[in-house]
């Protein structure tokens, strides 16, 4: 599991809607949140392993129009997770 902070190059309604449509199509994205901070979106991404995440990062998320920055936070353990 990886949490991903995504910044957009453009803050228009069209750019945000386009990004959200793209995220809805990616099975790896289990959560997509529009947040108020330096980044525009926070994603929860689940892949089989680090290699699979690299493919998602490079070939899918990295090709979405208006994506300016991608910051990945790999989860190493979850001592408390109330969603389960």
Instruction: Give the chain's domains with CATH numbers.
Output: 2-74 (3.30.70.920)
Secondary structure of residue 28 in the 3-state scheme: coil
CB proximity list for 68: less than 8 A, separation 6 or greater: 7, 8, 9
pLDDT digits (tens, 9 = 90+) for 23-79: 999 999 999 999 998 899 999 999 999 999 999 999 999 999 999 999 999 999 999
Distance, in Å, from the CA atom of 46 to the CA atom of 83, rounded to the nearest integer, reads: 14
| Whole-number pLDDT of residue 35 | 95
Structure tokens at 34: 């529009």
Structure tokens at 83: 């969603």
Neighbours of 8 (CB within 10 A): 19
């Amino acid at each position: 599991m990886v949490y991903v902070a995504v910044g957009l190059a453009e803050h228009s309604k069209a750019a945000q809607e386009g990004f959200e449509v793209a995220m809805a199509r990616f099975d790896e994205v289990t959560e997509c949140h529009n947040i108020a901070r330096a980044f525009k979106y926070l994603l929860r991404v689940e892949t089989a392993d680090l290699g699979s995440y690299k493919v998602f990062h490079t070939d899918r998320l990295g090709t979405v129009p208006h994506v300016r920055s991608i910051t990945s936070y790999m989860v190493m353990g979850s001592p408390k997770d109330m969603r389960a």
